[in-house]
């Protein structure tokens, strides 16, 4: 479970995340959505400890990520928006590198890699160097890298960005499988349809603050709108018109 | 876990960069340029001087008819006297002849008047230097023999001419141009130390940041210090590889040049070169630490390349100055990183005596500086912005 309490982060005078609190529960997919510049990526970076908050606490399965960042990182697997692969390493070497950084014993690691190769359908390119990989192949390597240590909490930033239909569907199936295993999944996406289909709970960010939060049914009831895109537009436009009211929705 | 994470990062960087053509080029091929350059100088320049010293001497001479005794003296010693009619000055400056022996048109008569002999030469040409040296030796010999003969004719002892008997003994293993060429080895080594691992240092830090792979790396249960230590280790190994390639290449070159080429009596032994490598070791760490520091403060790989391209010139220039204006090795100079090593390496390659105390001061001062730079680098890498492309 990922619990965020009163998280705040500024870059100079610009307040990017402003007193944000929410919970991403186990066995659920929590969708974090918002317009460009809403603070989603910064939120992601704060939760996975590559940024330090000015204020607030993040608990990963009850572990304070500021006090013990390494223990918190052992509990999360992250698929960042920029996949950041090493072009001279093979897909298998990527998975092995990140597995070794998690201290997984060699034999067990190789078994997990074989398992991921099957799950993510990487058989065709697992021993090829990453130079020239398609976006789908890059995403699969980055996803495998995030899952190699079997994290209880999985964070995915735009997981289907730039992928074809078949690969996007495979990713969605995988997320459902992870949810069924009782893992906590936090994802961001610009594709409202995807969030609507996958997310059990939705957090809408705008201007660094939460403007709306709840299950899809709760959001429909609260806004009186049916379509998630309409709900998103209404919430973010209202926040833009009334920034002071946004925090206290 | 502390050492394990560092080892994992180190192994990944080694595998990654051993597959990188640029890293291999910088560490394994560029270091060959110095030995190749010096080798060519020893081979071609030394070779041409040696050939000239043993080849039959041909002396272009102007107005040979004015000093028949002198011409006979030269010819009796196997020298071919080749008359030059006119424009000898243009012929020498134009490079058509190496030099000209110019005798007067109308020499003054009488034994008490010296014969005015001129040698017109171009000292920029090695063949001219060698040939005129041999001609001057023969002219001195002629003068000495003629004077002895005149003294004997006058009833005086020929020994009156011999005021001194001069013998020069050389304690060094190199003389003449070889000394200058050997003194150029330390600057080449220093340059290699500051360039050998530079691509690895840059690519694994600035490059990693630009490609966006630093951020996912730091989402693992590892500290930035552990990651940096692994990257530093790979940089150090590549620098050592470059150093090893260059030292071996210098050894092969020095043992392959023609015997006594340019005055190289005996090339430095393998043991001497091993000591040179050990003197360089602290600099390997210093150079790697400087590269890490520059990659921490620069915003892009291009910016870092600009600074790191200039970095080897600073210690390299000190070495070039020392090559031309030798400085006595004093303990205060030993404490200046790169300068102390340049002095030491100069002494070693010239097979001179080196002080263990000097080696110790140099190593300790350099390692202390390295430690300071590393502390600063590690501190700078704790900044948040260092993970993300600028």
CATH number at residue A207: 3.40.50.300
* Domain interval for residue B118: 56-161
In a domain, B256, yes or no: yes
What CA–CA distance (Å, rounded) separates B320 from B318? 6
B151 with B184, same domain: the answer is: no
- Average pLDDT over every residue of B181-200: 86
Q: Do the Cβ atoms of B264 and B351 come closer than 8 Å?
A: no
Give A142's contacts in chain B (Cβ within 8 Å). 216
Whose tokens are 């730039």? That residue is A162
State the pLDDT confidence band at A249, using cuts at 50, 70 and 90: very low
In a domain, B364, yes or no: yes
A71 with A169, same domain: the answer is: yes
B64 with B29, same domain: the answer is: no
In a domain, A127, yes or no: yes
A65 with A120, same domain: the answer is: no
B40 with B60, same domain: the answer is: no
What is the token pair recorded at B102?
């110019």
pLDDT of amino acid A62: 94
User: Taking 70 as the threshold, does the pLDDT of residue B44 lie above it?
Assistant: yes
Residue range A135-156, pLDDT digits in tens:
889 999 999 999 999 999 999 9
Residue range B332-345, pLDDT digits in tens:
777 888 888 888 88
B194 with B341, same domain: the answer is: yes
Give B12's contacts in chain A (Cβ within 8 Å). 86, 89, 93, 97
B331 with B381, same domain: the answer is: yes
What CA–CA distance (Å, rounded) separates B170 from B179? 13
Comparing CB atoms, the residue among B16, B214, B384 nearest residue A88 is B16
Please identify, among A129, A150, A171, the residue that sits at the C-terminal boundary of a domain. Answer: A150
pLDDT of amino acid A248: 42
- Average pLDDT over every residue of B259-270: 66
B39 with B70, same domain: the answer is: no
Please identify, among B101, B127, B161, the residue that sits at the C-terminal boundary of a domain. Answer: B161
Please identify, among B161, B185, B213, the residue that sits at the C-terminal boundary of a domain. Answer: B161
A136 with A167, same domain: the answer is: no
State the pLDDT confidence band at B370, using cuts at 50, 70 and 90: very high
Strands A201-206 and A209-214, by their bridges, are antiparallel
A235 with A173, same domain: the answer is: yes
**Quick check: A103 and B214 CB within 8 A?**
no
A53 with A169, same domain: the answer is: yes
CB of B20 within 8 Å of a chain A CB? The answer is yes
B136 with B190, same domain: the answer is: no
User: Taking 80 as the threshold, does the pLDDT of residue B8 lie above it?
Assistant: yes
Please identify, among A109, A130, A150, the residue that sits at the C-terminal boundary of a domain. Answer: A150
In Å, how far is A84's CA from the nearest CA of chain B? 4
pLDDT of amino acid B152: 87
DSSP-derived secondary structure for A16-57: EEEEEEEEE-TT-EEEEE-STTSSHHHHHHHHTTSS--SEEE
User: Taking 50 as the threshold, does the pLDDT of residue A246 lie above it?
Assistant: no
B306 with B342, same domain: the answer is: yes
**Of B205, B233, B197, B236, which Cα lies nearest the Cα of B303?**
B205
- Give the percent of chain B with pLDDT over 90: 34
**Quick check: A101 and B220 CB within 8 A?**
yes
pLDDT of amino acid A125: 95
Please identify, among A150, A169, A186, the residue that sits at the C-terminal boundary of a domain. Answer: A150
* Domain interval for residue A101: 77-150
**Of A65, A75, A68, A70, which Cα lies nearest the Cα of A4?**
A65
A69 with A90, same domain: the answer is: no
User: Taking 60 as the threshold, does the pLDDT of residue A247 lie above it?
Assistant: no
In a domain, A225, yes or no: no
- Average pLDDT over every residue of B185-203: 89
Answer with the residue of higher pLDDT: B94 or A93: A93
A194 with A134, same domain: the answer is: no
Comparing CB atoms, the residue among B4, B5, B16 nearest residue A86 is B16
State the pLDDT confidence band at A243, using cuts at 50, 70 and 90: low
- Average pLDDT over every residue of A52-73: 95
Could you report the predicted ipTM of this complex, rounded to two decimals?
0.90
- Average pLDDT over every residue of B256-273: 70
**Quick check: B216 and A78 CB within 8 A?**
yes
Phi, psi dihedral angles at A61 (to 5 degrees): 50, 40
Q: Do the Cβ atoms of B50 and B258 come closer than 8 Å?
A: yes
User: What's the per-residue H, E or C state across A124-156?
Assistant: CCCCCECCCCCHHHHHHHHHHHHHCCCCCEEEE
Give B387's contacts in chain A (Cβ within 8 Å). 50
**Quick check: A84 and B4 CB within 8 A?**
no
A69 with A173, same domain: the answer is: yes
Residue range A22-42, pLDDT digits in tens:
999 999 999 999 888 888 889
- Domains in chain A, number: 2
State the pLDDT confidence band at B259, using cuts at 50, 70 and 90: low
Sheet with A153-157: strands ordered across:
A76-79, A153-157, A184-188, A29-33, A201-206, A209-214
Residue range B267-276, pLDDT digits in tens:
777 787 888 8
B80 with B31, same domain: the answer is: no
B261 with B369, same domain: the answer is: yes
DSSP, res A190: S
- Interface probe for B, chosen from A49, A100, A154, A156 (most Cβ of B below 10 Å), is A100
A32 with A94, same domain: the answer is: no
In a domain, B50, yes or no: no
In a domain, B104, yes or no: yes
In a domain, B12, yes or no: yes
pTM of the predicted model over 0.90: no
Comparing CB atoms, the residue among A80, A85, A145 nearest residue B215 is A80
A62 with A89, same domain: the answer is: no
The chain-wide mean pLDDT, for chain B, equals 84
**Quick check: A80 and B216 CB within 8 A?**
yes
In a domain, B49, yes or no: no
- Domains in chain B, number: 2
What is the token pair recorded at B291?
């590269």
**Quick check: A50 and B219 CB within 8 A?**
yes
State the pLDDT confidence band at B322, using cuts at 50, 70 and 90: low
Residue range B112-140, pLDDT digits in tens:
778 889 999 887 776 777 788 888 989 99
Give B211's contacts in chain A (Cβ within 8 Å). 84-86
A56 with A110, same domain: the answer is: no
User: Taking 80 as the threshold, does the pLDDT of residue B318 lie above it?
Assistant: no
User: What's the per-residue H, E or C state across B296-328?
Assistant: HHCCCHHHHHHHHHHCCHHHHHHHHHHHHCCCC
Q: Which residues pair with A5 in a beta bridge?
A: A57
In a domain, A222, yes or no: no
pLDDT of amino acid B284: 94
Give B19's contacts in chain A (Cβ within 8 Å). 88, 129
Give B219's contacts in chain A (Cβ within 8 Å). 48-50, 73, 76, 78, 80
Helices A106-119 and A91-101 pack at an angle, to 10 degrees, of: 130
Residue B78, SS3? coil
Please identify, among B105, B135, B161, the residue that sits at the C-terminal boundary of a domain. Answer: B161
User: Taking 60 as the threshold, does the pLDDT of residue B51 lie above it?
Assistant: no
In a domain, B167, yes or no: no
Helices (H), B222-262: 224-254
- Average pLDDT over every residue of B69-92: 88
CB of B89 within 8 Å of a chain A CB? The answer is no
In a domain, B201, yes or no: yes
Q: Which range, of A73-82, A153-162, A167-176, B109-118, averages the lowest pLDDT?
A: B109-118
A6 with A87, same domain: the answer is: no
Cα torsion angle, B339, B344, B347, B348, sign: negative
B271 with B205, same domain: the answer is: yes
**Of B190, B386, B193, which Cα lies nearest the Cα of B293?**
B386
pLDDT of amino acid B1: 53
B257 with B376, same domain: the answer is: yes
């Amino acid at each position: 479970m990922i619990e965020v309490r009163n998280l705040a982060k500024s870059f100079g005078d610009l307040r990017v995340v402003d007193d944000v609190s929410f919970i991403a529960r186990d066995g659920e997919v929590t969708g974090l959505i918002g317009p460009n510049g809403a603070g989603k990526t910064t939120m992601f970076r704060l939760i996975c400890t590559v940024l330090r908050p000015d204020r607030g606490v993040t608990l990963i399965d009850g572990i304070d990520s500021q006090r013990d960042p390494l223990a918190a990182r052992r509990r999360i697997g992250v698929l960042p928006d920029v996949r950041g692969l090493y072009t001279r390493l093979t897909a298998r070497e990527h998975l092995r590198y990140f597995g070794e950084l998690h201290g997984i014993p060699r034999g067990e690691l190789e078994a997990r890699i074989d398992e991921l190769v099957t799950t993510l359908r990487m058989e065709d390119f697992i021993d090829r160097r990453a130079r020239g990989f398609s976006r789908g192949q890059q995403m699969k390597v980055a996803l495998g890298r995030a899952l190699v240590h079997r994290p209880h909490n999985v964070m995915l930033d735009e997981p289907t960005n730039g992928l074809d239909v078949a690969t996007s569907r495979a990713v969605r199936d995988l997320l459902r499988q992870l949810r069924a295993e009782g893992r906590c999944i936090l994802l961001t996406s610009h594709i409202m349809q995807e969030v609507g289909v996958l997310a059990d709970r939705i957090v809408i960010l705008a201007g660094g603050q939460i403007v709306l939060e709840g299950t899809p049914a709760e959001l429909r009831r609260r806004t009186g709108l049916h379509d998630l895109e309409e709900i998103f537009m209404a919430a973010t436009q209202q926040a833009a018109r009334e920034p002071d009211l946004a925090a206290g929705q | 876990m502390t050492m394990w994470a560092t080892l994992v990062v180190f192994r990944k960087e080694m595998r990654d960069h051993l597959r990188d053509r640029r890293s291999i080029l910088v560490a394994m091929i560029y270091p060959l340029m110095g030995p190749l350059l010096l080798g060519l100088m020893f081979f071609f320049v030394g070779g041409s001087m040696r050939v000239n010293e043993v080849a039959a001497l041909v002396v272009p001479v102007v107005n040979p008819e004015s000093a028949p005794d002198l011409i006979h003296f030269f010819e009796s010693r196997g020298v071919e006297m080749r008359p030059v009619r006119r424009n000898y000055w243009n012929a020498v400056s134009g490079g058509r002849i190496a030099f000209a022996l110019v005798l007067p048109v109308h020499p003054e008569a009488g034994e008490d008047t010296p014969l005015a002999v001129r040698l017109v030469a171009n000292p920029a040409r090695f063949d001219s230097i060698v040939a005129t040296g041999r001609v001057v030796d023969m002219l001195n010999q002629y003068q000495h023999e003629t004077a002895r003969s005149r003294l004997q004719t006058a009833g005086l002892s020929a020994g009156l001419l011999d005021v001194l008997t001069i013998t020069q003994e050389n304690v060094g293993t190199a003389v003449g141009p070889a000394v200058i060429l050997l003194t150029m080895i330390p600057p080449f080594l220093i340059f290699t130390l500051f360039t050998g691992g530079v691509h690895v240092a840059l690519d694994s830090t600035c490059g990693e940041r630009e490609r966006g792979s630093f951020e996912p790396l730091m989402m693992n249960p590892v500290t930035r210090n552990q990651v940096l230590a692994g990257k530093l280790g790979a940089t150090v190994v590549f620098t050592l590889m470059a150093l090893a390639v260059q030292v071996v290449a210098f050894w092969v070159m020095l043992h392959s040049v023609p015997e006594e080429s340019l005055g190289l009596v005996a090339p430095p032994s393998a043991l001497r070169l091993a000591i040179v490598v050990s003197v360089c070791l602290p600099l390997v760490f210093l150079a790697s630490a400087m590269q890490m520091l520059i990659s921490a403060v620069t915003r892009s790989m291009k910016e870092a390349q600009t600074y790191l391209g200039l970095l080897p010139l600073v210690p390299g220039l000190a070495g070039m100055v020392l090559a031309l204006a030798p400085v006595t090795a004093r303990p205060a100079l030993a404490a200046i990183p790169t300068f102390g090593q340049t002095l030491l390496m100069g002494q070693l390659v010239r097979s001179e005596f080196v002080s263990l105390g000097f080696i110790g001061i140099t190593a300790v001062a350099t390692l202390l500086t390295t430690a300071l730079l590393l502390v600063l680098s590690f501190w700078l890498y704790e900044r948040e912005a260092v993970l993300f492309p600028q």
